[in-house]
Structure 1
Amino acid sequence: MKLTALIPVYNHGAQVGAVVARLRAQGLPVLLVDDGSDAATARVLDDLARQPEVRLQRLPRNQGKGGAMLAGLRAAQAAGFSHALQIDADGQHAVEDARSFAELAQAHPDHLICGNPVYDASVPKGRLYGRYATHIWVWINTLGFELRDSMCGFRVYPLAPTVALIDAEKVGLRMDFDTEIAVRLMWRGLRVINVPTQVRYPEDGLSHFDVWRDNLLITWMHTRLFFGMLWRLPRLLSRRLGRLWSA
Protein backbone atom coordinates (compact mmCIF):
# COMPACT_ATOMS: atom_id res chain seq x y z
CA MET A 1 0.00 0.00 0.00
CA LYS A 2 1.19 3.50 -0.86
CA LEU A 3 -0.93 6.13 0.89
CA THR A 4 -1.15 9.90 0.52
CA ALA A 5 -3.25 12.38 2.46
CA LEU A 6 -5.52 14.34 0.12
CA ILE A 7 -6.76 17.78 1.22
CA PRO A 8 -9.20 19.85 -0.85
CA VAL A 9 -8.60 23.52 -0.02
CA TYR A 10 -10.76 26.57 -0.68
CA ASN A 11 -9.65 29.70 1.21
CA HIS A 12 -8.49 27.81 4.31
CA GLY A 13 -5.07 29.43 4.28
CA ALA A 14 -5.13 30.14 8.02
CA GLN A 15 -5.84 26.53 9.01
CA VAL A 16 -4.35 24.21 6.40
CA GLY A 17 -0.71 24.61 7.44
CA ALA A 18 -1.34 23.08 10.86
CA VAL A 19 -3.18 20.13 9.29
CA VAL A 20 -0.30 19.50 6.88
CA ALA A 21 2.26 19.70 9.69
CA ARG A 22 0.40 17.14 11.80
CA LEU A 23 0.05 14.75 8.85
CA ARG A 24 3.73 15.08 7.94
CA ALA A 25 4.64 14.40 11.58
CA GLN A 26 3.02 10.98 11.08
CA GLY A 27 5.10 10.37 7.97
CA LEU A 28 2.27 10.82 5.49
CA PRO A 29 2.91 12.51 2.16
CA VAL A 30 0.32 15.19 1.36
CA LEU A 31 -1.47 16.20 -1.83
CA LEU A 32 -3.15 19.62 -1.66
CA VAL A 33 -5.83 20.54 -4.17
CA ASP A 34 -6.27 24.30 -4.49
CA ASP A 35 -9.90 24.69 -5.54
CA GLY A 36 -9.61 28.22 -6.93
CA SER A 37 -8.64 29.83 -3.62
CA ASP A 38 -7.94 33.53 -3.08
CA ALA A 39 -4.44 34.95 -3.53
CA ALA A 40 -3.55 34.78 0.17
CA THR A 41 -4.40 31.08 0.41
CA ALA A 42 -2.63 30.39 -2.89
CA ARG A 43 0.57 31.84 -1.44
CA VAL A 44 0.25 29.67 1.67
CA LEU A 45 -0.21 26.58 -0.51
CA ASP A 46 2.78 27.50 -2.67
CA ASP A 47 4.93 27.73 0.47
CA LEU A 48 3.64 24.39 1.77
CA ALA A 49 4.33 22.72 -1.59
CA ARG A 50 8.04 23.57 -1.22
CA GLN A 51 8.25 21.12 1.67
CA PRO A 52 9.39 17.53 1.04
CA GLU A 53 6.55 15.11 0.27
CA VAL A 54 3.96 17.87 -0.20
CA ARG A 55 2.40 18.15 -3.64
CA LEU A 56 0.06 20.81 -5.00
CA GLN A 57 -2.67 20.40 -7.62
CA ARG A 58 -4.15 23.75 -8.63
CA LEU A 59 -7.56 24.14 -10.26
CA PRO A 60 -8.05 27.30 -12.35
CA ARG A 61 -11.47 28.02 -10.86
CA ASN A 62 -13.57 26.86 -7.94
CA GLN A 63 -15.32 23.58 -8.74
CA GLY A 64 -16.66 22.64 -5.30
CA LYS A 65 -15.45 20.05 -2.82
CA GLY A 66 -16.43 17.18 -5.07
CA GLY A 67 -14.70 18.68 -8.08
CA ALA A 68 -11.52 19.16 -6.05
CA MET A 69 -11.70 15.58 -4.80
CA LEU A 70 -12.16 14.18 -8.31
CA ALA A 71 -9.06 16.03 -9.48
CA GLY A 72 -7.11 14.97 -6.40
CA LEU A 73 -8.04 11.29 -6.63
CA ARG A 74 -6.93 11.13 -10.25
CA ALA A 75 -3.72 13.03 -9.45
CA ALA A 76 -2.94 10.73 -6.52
CA GLN A 77 -3.28 7.64 -8.68
CA ALA A 78 -1.21 9.21 -11.46
CA ALA A 79 1.53 9.92 -8.88
CA GLY A 80 1.70 6.21 -8.05
CA PHE A 81 -0.33 6.05 -4.86
CA SER A 82 -2.66 3.13 -4.18
CA HIS A 83 -4.79 4.83 -1.49
CA ALA A 84 -5.83 8.36 -0.55
CA LEU A 85 -6.75 9.61 2.91
CA GLN A 86 -9.31 12.41 2.49
CA ILE A 87 -9.26 14.99 5.28
CA ASP A 88 -10.63 18.53 5.59
CA ALA A 89 -8.38 21.59 5.50
CA ASP A 90 -10.12 23.46 8.32
CA GLY A 91 -8.86 21.39 11.25
CA GLN A 92 -12.21 19.92 12.32
CA HIS A 93 -10.97 16.34 11.96
CA ALA A 94 -8.81 14.60 14.54
CA VAL A 95 -5.61 14.43 12.49
CA GLU A 96 -3.99 12.09 15.02
CA ASP A 97 -6.49 9.41 13.94
CA ALA A 98 -4.89 9.32 10.48
CA ARG A 99 -2.48 6.66 11.75
CA SER A 100 -5.38 4.37 12.72
CA PHE A 101 -7.05 4.92 9.36
CA ALA A 102 -3.79 4.07 7.59
CA GLU A 103 -3.29 0.89 9.63
CA LEU A 104 -6.83 -0.28 8.83
CA ALA A 105 -6.31 0.44 5.13
CA GLN A 106 -3.08 -1.55 5.26
CA ALA A 107 -4.90 -4.51 6.81
CA HIS A 108 -7.97 -4.18 4.56
CA PRO A 109 -6.73 -2.60 1.31
CA ASP A 110 -9.92 -3.28 -0.66
CA HIS A 111 -12.24 -1.57 1.89
CA LEU A 112 -13.50 1.98 2.25
CA ILE A 113 -12.27 3.18 5.66
CA CYS A 114 -14.82 5.77 6.74
CA GLY A 115 -14.90 8.09 9.73
CA ASN A 116 -17.90 7.85 12.04
CA PRO A 117 -18.03 11.28 13.75
CA VAL A 118 -18.14 11.70 17.51
CA TYR A 119 -19.19 15.32 18.09
CA ASP A 120 -18.55 17.66 20.97
CA ALA A 121 -20.68 20.66 21.98
CA SER A 122 -19.29 22.77 19.12
CA VAL A 123 -21.40 21.06 16.46
CA PRO A 124 -24.22 23.26 15.07
CA LYS A 125 -27.45 21.52 16.04
CA GLY A 126 -29.09 22.16 12.66
CA ARG A 127 -26.21 20.42 10.89
CA LEU A 128 -26.28 17.53 13.38
CA TYR A 129 -30.00 16.83 13.08
CA GLY A 130 -30.00 17.37 9.32
CA ARG A 131 -27.51 14.53 8.87
CA TYR A 132 -30.04 11.97 10.04
CA ALA A 133 -32.22 12.43 6.97
CA THR A 134 -29.20 11.59 4.83
CA HIS A 135 -28.36 8.59 7.03
CA ILE A 136 -31.85 7.16 6.53
CA TRP A 137 -31.72 7.56 2.76
CA VAL A 138 -28.26 5.98 2.61
CA TRP A 139 -29.44 3.00 4.63
CA ILE A 140 -32.37 2.61 2.24
CA ASN A 141 -30.21 2.96 -0.87
CA THR A 142 -27.58 0.49 0.36
CA LEU A 143 -30.09 -1.94 1.94
CA GLY A 144 -28.36 -1.90 5.30
CA PHE A 145 -26.51 -0.08 8.05
CA GLU A 146 -22.96 -0.90 7.00
CA LEU A 147 -22.08 2.76 6.38
CA ARG A 148 -22.70 4.64 9.61
CA ASP A 149 -22.08 8.20 8.38
CA SER A 150 -21.81 8.97 4.68
CA MET A 151 -21.15 12.70 5.11
CA CYS A 152 -17.87 12.48 7.00
CA GLY A 153 -15.03 13.73 4.81
CA PHE A 154 -12.38 11.80 6.73
CA ARG A 155 -11.83 8.45 4.99
CA VAL A 156 -9.43 6.28 3.00
CA TYR A 157 -10.22 5.36 -0.61
CA PRO A 158 -8.62 2.46 -2.47
CA LEU A 159 -7.76 4.37 -5.63
CA ALA A 160 -8.12 1.67 -8.30
CA PRO A 161 -11.88 1.07 -7.81
CA THR A 162 -12.54 4.70 -6.89
CA VAL A 163 -10.96 6.21 -10.00
CA ALA A 164 -12.61 3.52 -12.13
CA LEU A 165 -15.95 4.65 -10.68
CA ILE A 166 -15.44 8.37 -11.24
CA ASP A 167 -14.21 7.73 -14.79
CA ALA A 168 -17.37 5.74 -15.54
CA GLU A 169 -20.11 7.59 -13.66
CA LYS A 170 -21.06 11.17 -12.88
CA VAL A 171 -20.62 12.05 -9.21
CA GLY A 172 -21.70 15.24 -7.41
CA LEU A 173 -19.23 18.12 -7.50
CA ARG A 174 -20.10 19.89 -4.26
CA MET A 175 -21.25 18.82 -0.80
CA ASP A 176 -23.15 15.91 -2.33
CA PHE A 177 -19.86 14.23 -3.25
CA ASP A 178 -19.02 12.39 0.00
CA THR A 179 -22.36 10.61 0.25
CA GLU A 180 -22.77 9.82 -3.44
CA ILE A 181 -19.33 8.33 -4.00
CA ALA A 182 -19.63 6.17 -0.88
CA VAL A 183 -23.00 4.76 -1.95
CA ARG A 184 -21.81 4.12 -5.51
CA LEU A 185 -18.67 2.37 -4.28
CA MET A 186 -20.81 0.14 -2.08
CA TRP A 187 -23.04 -0.64 -5.06
CA ARG A 188 -19.87 -1.85 -6.79
CA GLY A 189 -19.18 -4.22 -3.93
CA LEU A 190 -16.77 -2.32 -1.68
CA ARG A 191 -17.11 -3.12 2.00
CA VAL A 192 -16.92 -0.42 4.66
CA ILE A 193 -15.05 -0.19 7.95
CA ASN A 194 -16.37 2.58 10.23
CA VAL A 195 -13.93 4.31 12.55
CA PRO A 196 -15.16 6.48 15.46
CA THR A 197 -13.35 9.81 15.31
CA GLN A 198 -13.72 13.11 17.12
CA VAL A 199 -15.04 16.02 15.04
CA ARG A 200 -15.15 19.58 16.28
CA TYR A 201 -16.27 22.84 14.71
CA PRO A 202 -13.70 25.58 15.49
CA GLU A 203 -15.17 28.93 16.55
CA ASP A 204 -13.20 30.66 13.80
CA GLY A 205 -13.92 27.90 11.27
CA LEU A 206 -14.81 28.73 7.67
CA SER A 207 -17.71 26.69 6.28
CA HIS A 208 -18.58 26.61 2.59
CA PHE A 209 -21.89 24.80 3.13
CA ASP A 210 -24.61 26.81 1.37
CA VAL A 211 -27.89 25.95 3.11
CA TRP A 212 -30.16 26.40 0.09
CA ARG A 213 -27.91 25.30 -2.76
CA ASP A 214 -26.30 22.34 -1.03
CA ASN A 215 -29.52 21.04 0.52
CA LEU A 216 -31.14 21.13 -2.92
CA LEU A 217 -28.16 19.28 -4.41
CA ILE A 218 -28.29 16.68 -1.63
CA THR A 219 -32.05 16.20 -2.11
CA TRP A 220 -31.56 15.68 -5.85
CA MET A 221 -28.69 13.28 -5.12
CA HIS A 222 -30.90 11.15 -2.86
CA THR A 223 -33.57 11.07 -5.56
CA ARG A 224 -31.04 9.86 -8.17
CA LEU A 225 -29.62 7.29 -5.82
CA PHE A 226 -33.05 5.95 -4.86
CA PHE A 227 -34.03 5.26 -8.46
CA GLY A 228 -30.55 3.92 -9.11
CA MET A 229 -31.04 1.53 -6.21
CA LEU A 230 -34.37 0.31 -7.61
CA TRP A 231 -32.97 -1.00 -10.87
CA ARG A 232 -29.98 -2.49 -9.04
CA LEU A 233 -32.26 -4.06 -6.41
CA PRO A 234 -32.03 -7.72 -7.55
CA ARG A 235 -28.22 -7.61 -7.62
CA LEU A 236 -28.00 -5.77 -4.31
CA LEU A 237 -30.38 -8.20 -2.63
CA SER A 238 -28.47 -11.17 -4.02
CA ARG A 239 -25.19 -9.77 -2.69
CA ARG A 240 -26.77 -8.99 0.69
CA LEU A 241 -28.15 -12.53 1.02
CA GLY A 242 -24.84 -14.02 -0.06
CA ARG A 243 -23.04 -12.14 2.69
CA LEU A 244 -25.61 -13.23 5.26
CA TRP A 245 -25.25 -16.88 4.28
CA SER A 246 -21.44 -16.73 4.34
CA ALA A 247 -21.30 -14.94 7.72
Structure 2
Amino acid sequence: MHNPCALIPVYNHEAAVPAVVHRLLDSGLPCLLVDDGSSPACATVLARLASLDNVSLLTLPTNQGKGAAVMAGFREAARLGFSHALQVDADGQHDLREVTTFLDASRTHPEALICGYPEYDDSVPKGRLYARYLTHVWVWINSLSLQIRDSMCGFRIYPLAPVLALMDSANIGKRMDFDSDILVRLAWRSQPMRWLPTQVHYPTDGLSHFRMVRDNLLISSMHTRLFFGMLVRAPMILWRRWQA
Protein backbone atom coordinates (compact mmCIF):
# COMPACT_ATOMS: atom_id res chain seq x y z
CA MET A 1 0.00 0.00 0.00
CA HIS A 2 1.26 3.48 -0.84
CA ASN A 3 -0.90 6.21 0.66
CA PRO A 4 1.30 9.28 1.33
CA CYS A 5 0.67 12.62 2.99
CA ALA A 6 2.75 15.74 3.48
CA LEU A 7 3.84 16.36 7.07
CA ILE A 8 4.67 19.97 7.95
CA PRO A 9 5.94 20.89 11.44
CA VAL A 10 5.14 24.55 12.11
CA TYR A 11 6.44 26.96 14.71
CA ASN A 12 5.54 30.59 13.99
CA HIS A 13 5.82 30.41 10.20
CA GLU A 14 2.42 31.96 9.55
CA ALA A 15 3.73 34.08 6.66
CA ALA A 16 5.29 31.22 4.68
CA VAL A 17 3.20 28.14 5.46
CA PRO A 18 0.04 28.96 3.43
CA ALA A 19 1.98 28.95 0.15
CA VAL A 20 3.66 25.67 1.14
CA VAL A 21 0.31 24.04 1.88
CA HIS A 22 -1.30 25.21 -1.37
CA ARG A 23 1.63 24.00 -3.45
CA LEU A 24 1.43 20.57 -1.82
CA LEU A 25 -2.33 20.37 -2.31
CA ASP A 26 -1.83 21.27 -5.97
CA SER A 27 0.55 18.29 -6.15
CA GLY A 28 -2.28 16.04 -4.97
CA LEU A 29 -0.91 15.45 -1.46
CA PRO A 30 -3.09 15.65 1.66
CA CYS A 31 -1.38 17.82 4.28
CA LEU A 32 -0.92 17.21 7.98
CA LEU A 33 0.12 20.34 9.87
CA VAL A 34 1.71 19.99 13.31
CA ASP A 35 1.44 23.17 15.35
CA ASP A 36 4.44 23.02 17.68
CA GLY A 37 3.15 25.49 20.26
CA SER A 38 2.97 28.44 17.87
CA SER A 39 1.87 31.97 18.69
CA PRO A 40 -1.86 32.87 18.58
CA ALA A 41 -1.32 34.62 15.23
CA CYS A 42 0.21 31.50 13.68
CA ALA A 43 -2.41 29.24 15.31
CA THR A 44 -5.14 31.33 13.65
CA VAL A 45 -3.52 30.86 10.23
CA LEU A 46 -3.19 27.12 10.80
CA ALA A 47 -6.82 26.79 11.89
CA ARG A 48 -7.86 28.55 8.69
CA LEU A 49 -5.75 26.19 6.60
CA ALA A 50 -7.20 23.19 8.45
CA SER A 51 -10.65 24.15 7.18
CA LEU A 52 -9.53 23.29 3.64
CA ASP A 53 -10.22 19.91 2.09
CA ASN A 54 -7.41 17.38 2.63
CA VAL A 55 -5.74 19.40 5.39
CA SER A 56 -5.49 18.09 8.97
CA LEU A 57 -4.09 19.84 12.03
CA LEU A 58 -2.43 18.37 15.10
CA THR A 59 -1.81 20.91 17.87
CA LEU A 60 0.87 20.38 20.52
CA PRO A 61 0.22 22.28 23.77
CA THR A 62 3.77 23.66 24.07
CA ASN A 63 6.79 24.02 21.84
CA GLN A 64 8.63 20.69 21.89
CA GLY A 65 11.10 21.08 19.03
CA LYS A 66 11.18 20.13 15.37
CA GLY A 67 11.96 16.47 15.95
CA ALA A 68 9.22 16.04 18.53
CA ALA A 69 6.73 17.71 16.19
CA VAL A 70 7.71 15.48 13.28
CA MET A 71 7.48 12.33 15.40
CA ALA A 72 4.07 13.34 16.74
CA GLY A 73 3.08 13.87 13.12
CA PHE A 74 4.28 10.39 12.17
CA ARG A 75 1.99 8.83 14.76
CA GLU A 76 -0.94 10.99 13.70
CA ALA A 77 -0.35 10.23 10.01
CA ALA A 78 -0.42 6.49 10.76
CA ARG A 79 -3.59 6.94 12.82
CA LEU A 80 -5.20 8.69 9.84
CA GLY A 81 -4.37 5.72 7.61
CA PHE A 82 -1.36 7.03 5.69
CA SER A 83 1.53 4.71 4.88
CA HIS A 84 4.18 7.30 4.04
CA ALA A 85 4.90 10.88 5.05
CA LEU A 86 6.75 13.54 3.08
CA GLN A 87 8.48 15.76 5.62
CA VAL A 88 8.49 19.39 4.45
CA ASP A 89 9.77 22.47 6.25
CA ALA A 90 7.21 25.24 6.78
CA ASP A 91 9.53 28.11 5.86
CA GLY A 92 9.46 27.56 2.09
CA GLN A 93 13.12 26.63 1.62
CA HIS A 94 12.36 23.36 -0.19
CA ASP A 95 11.68 23.32 -3.93
CA LEU A 96 8.21 21.80 -4.04
CA ARG A 97 8.37 21.37 -7.81
CA GLU A 98 10.28 18.18 -6.97
CA VAL A 99 7.42 16.60 -4.97
CA THR A 100 6.26 14.55 -7.95
CA THR A 101 9.75 13.14 -8.54
CA PHE A 102 10.04 12.12 -4.88
CA LEU A 103 6.57 10.56 -4.88
CA ASP A 104 7.35 8.58 -8.04
CA ALA A 105 10.50 7.20 -6.40
CA SER A 106 8.53 6.28 -3.28
CA ARG A 107 5.83 4.49 -5.27
CA THR A 108 8.48 2.52 -7.16
CA HIS A 109 10.38 1.68 -3.95
CA PRO A 110 7.76 1.82 -1.17
CA GLU A 111 10.07 0.11 1.33
CA ALA A 112 12.73 2.81 0.96
CA LEU A 113 13.28 6.11 2.70
CA ILE A 114 13.52 8.71 -0.08
CA CYS A 115 16.00 11.39 1.00
CA GLY A 116 16.86 14.70 -0.54
CA TYR A 117 20.44 15.88 -0.69
CA PRO A 118 20.57 19.65 -1.09
CA GLU A 119 21.86 21.70 -3.96
CA TYR A 120 22.23 25.22 -2.56
CA ASP A 121 22.07 28.57 -4.25
CA ASP A 122 23.88 31.68 -3.00
CA SER A 123 21.30 32.27 -0.25
CA VAL A 124 22.72 29.60 2.08
CA PRO A 125 24.43 31.02 5.20
CA LYS A 126 28.11 30.12 4.86
CA GLY A 127 28.50 29.20 8.54
CA ARG A 128 25.74 26.61 8.31
CA LEU A 129 27.10 25.28 5.02
CA TYR A 130 30.58 24.65 6.42
CA ALA A 131 29.22 23.15 9.65
CA ARG A 132 27.36 20.55 7.58
CA TYR A 133 30.61 19.04 6.36
CA LEU A 134 31.69 18.23 9.91
CA THR A 135 28.31 16.58 10.51
CA HIS A 136 28.73 14.56 7.29
CA VAL A 137 32.00 13.09 8.58
CA TRP A 138 30.54 12.15 11.95
CA VAL A 139 27.48 10.59 10.31
CA TRP A 140 29.68 8.45 8.06
CA ILE A 141 31.68 7.32 11.09
CA ASN A 142 28.61 6.62 13.22
CA SER A 143 26.75 4.76 10.48
CA LEU A 144 29.89 2.84 9.36
CA SER A 145 28.90 3.76 5.83
CA LEU A 146 29.11 6.47 3.19
CA GLN A 147 25.53 5.84 2.05
CA ILE A 148 24.09 8.89 3.88
CA ARG A 149 24.82 11.70 1.44
CA ASP A 150 23.29 14.42 3.63
CA SER A 151 21.73 13.89 7.04
CA MET A 152 20.42 17.39 7.71
CA CYS A 153 18.09 18.05 4.79
CA GLY A 154 14.51 17.63 6.03
CA PHE A 155 12.96 16.92 2.62
CA ARG A 156 12.26 13.17 2.83
CA ILE A 157 9.55 10.59 2.31
CA TYR A 158 9.45 8.20 5.25
CA PRO A 159 7.76 4.78 5.16
CA LEU A 160 5.91 4.94 8.45
CA ALA A 161 6.09 1.31 9.59
CA PRO A 162 9.87 1.09 10.17
CA VAL A 163 9.98 4.64 11.54
CA LEU A 164 7.29 3.94 14.14
CA ALA A 165 9.09 0.72 15.12
CA LEU A 166 12.28 2.72 15.68
CA MET A 167 10.45 5.40 17.66
CA ASP A 168 9.03 2.74 19.96
CA SER A 169 12.48 1.41 20.83
CA ALA A 170 14.91 4.36 20.71
CA ASN A 171 15.29 7.82 22.18
CA ILE A 172 15.58 10.02 19.07
CA GLY A 173 16.58 13.68 19.20
CA LYS A 174 13.59 15.98 19.56
CA ARG A 175 15.00 19.25 18.26
CA MET A 176 17.45 20.16 15.50
CA ASP A 177 19.35 16.95 16.19
CA PHE A 178 16.42 14.89 14.86
CA ASP A 179 17.19 14.72 11.12
CA SER A 180 20.68 13.25 11.53
CA ASP A 181 19.84 11.09 14.54
CA ILE A 182 16.98 9.22 12.89
CA LEU A 183 18.95 8.54 9.69
CA VAL A 184 21.88 6.99 11.53
CA ARG A 185 19.60 4.84 13.66
CA LEU A 186 17.68 3.67 10.59
CA ALA A 187 20.98 2.89 8.86
CA TRP A 188 21.92 0.71 11.82
CA ARG A 189 18.74 -1.26 11.07
CA SER A 190 19.66 -1.65 7.36
CA GLN A 191 16.80 0.60 6.27
CA PRO A 192 16.87 0.99 2.46
CA MET A 193 17.50 4.61 1.43
CA ARG A 194 17.43 6.32 -1.93
CA TRP A 195 18.84 9.77 -2.65
CA LEU A 196 17.57 12.50 -4.95
CA PRO A 197 18.96 16.01 -5.46
CA THR A 198 16.79 18.86 -4.25
CA GLN A 199 17.18 22.61 -4.66
CA VAL A 200 17.29 24.52 -1.36
CA HIS A 201 16.81 28.27 -1.01
CA TYR A 202 17.00 30.32 2.18
CA PRO A 203 14.49 33.20 1.89
CA THR A 204 16.04 36.55 2.79
CA ASP A 205 13.04 37.33 5.01
CA GLY A 206 12.77 33.77 6.31
CA LEU A 207 12.42 32.89 9.99
CA SER A 208 14.99 30.38 11.23
CA HIS A 209 14.68 28.66 14.59
CA PHE A 210 18.23 27.31 14.48
CA ARG A 211 20.09 28.59 17.56
CA MET A 212 23.82 28.52 16.92
CA VAL A 213 25.05 27.68 20.42
CA ARG A 214 22.17 25.58 21.76
CA ASP A 215 21.61 23.54 18.62
CA ASN A 216 25.29 22.96 17.88
CA LEU A 217 25.68 21.65 21.44
CA LEU A 218 22.69 19.36 20.90
CA ILE A 219 24.14 18.09 17.64
CA SER A 220 27.56 17.52 19.22
CA SER A 221 25.94 15.57 22.06
CA MET A 222 23.99 13.50 19.51
CA HIS A 223 27.16 12.59 17.61
CA THR A 224 28.79 11.50 20.87
CA ARG A 225 25.84 9.27 21.81
CA LEU A 226 25.72 7.79 18.33
CA PHE A 227 29.46 7.10 18.34
CA PHE A 228 29.26 4.98 21.49
CA GLY A 229 26.07 3.35 20.20
CA MET A 230 27.91 2.49 17.00
CA LEU A 231 30.78 0.89 18.93
CA VAL A 232 28.34 -1.44 20.68
CA ARG A 233 26.51 -2.30 17.45
CA ALA A 234 29.51 -2.43 15.09
CA PRO A 235 29.96 -6.23 15.04
CA MET A 236 26.29 -6.83 14.21
CA ILE A 237 26.16 -4.01 11.63
CA LEU A 238 29.23 -5.31 9.84
CA TRP A 239 27.98 -8.93 10.03
CA ARG A 240 24.67 -7.97 8.39
CA ARG A 241 26.45 -6.13 5.60
CA TRP A 242 28.84 -9.02 5.01
CA GLN A 243 25.87 -11.38 4.68
CA ALA A 244 23.91 -9.06 2.36
Question: For this structure pair, what is the TM-score category when the shorter chain's length is used for normalisation?
Answer: over 0.9
Matching of residues 147-226 of structure 1 within 5 Å:
147-226=148-227
Q: Secondary structure at the match of 2:16?
A: helix
**What's the CA shift string for 1:141-200, capped at 9, x where partnerless?**
111211100000000110001011111111111000000011111111102111100001
CA-to-aligned-CA distance 1:52-101 (integer Å, 9 cap, x gap): 00000000000000110111000001111000000100000001111111
Q: CA deviation at 1:106?
A: 0.7
SS of residue matched to 2:195: strand
Query: Which residue is equivalent to 2:116?
Result: 115
In structure 2, C-alpha distance between the alignment counterparts of 1:102 and 1:136, rounded to whole Å: 29
Q: Which residue number in structure 1 is paired with residue 21 of structure 2?
A: 20
Distance 2:243 2:98 in 1: 33
How far 1:242 sits from its partner (Å)?
Answer: 3.0
Query: Given residue 162 of structure 1, which amino acid in structure 2 is its aligned partner?
Result: V
Write out aligned runs for 1:35-184 (5 A).
35-184=36-185
Task: Render the CA deviation track for 1:103-155: whole Å, top value 9, x for unaligned.
Answer: 11111111111110000000000000000111001111111211100000000
Aligned counterparts of 1:228 and 1:38: Cα–Cα separation in 2: 38
| Aligned-partner Cα distance in 2 for 1:9–1:85 | 14
**Normalization by structure 2: what TM-score?**
0.98
Question: Match for 2:226: what amino acid?
Answer: L
Alignment partners' CA distance in 1, 2:174 and 2:151 = 15
Q: Deviations over 1:10-66 (max 9, x none)?
A: 000000000000000010000000000001110100000000000000000000001
CA distance in 2, matches of 1:110, 1:142: 20
Q: How well do the aligned residues superpose, as a CA RMSD in angstroms?
A: 0.7
Q: How many equivalent residue pairs? A: 243
Please state whether the residue corresponding to 1:66 is helix, strand or coil.
helix
Partner of 1:195, secondary structure, is: strand
TM-score by length of 1: 0.97
| 1:241 equivalent in alignment to 2:229 | no
> What residue in structure 1 maps to residue 229 of structure 2?
228
* Alpha-carbon distance between aligned partners in 2 of 1:111 and 1:98, rounded to the nearest angstrom: 16
Q: Distance in 2 between matches of 1:204 and 1:85?
A: 25
CA-CA distance at 1:239 after TM superposition: 2.2
Identity value in percent? 60
Give the SS at the match of 1:116.
strand
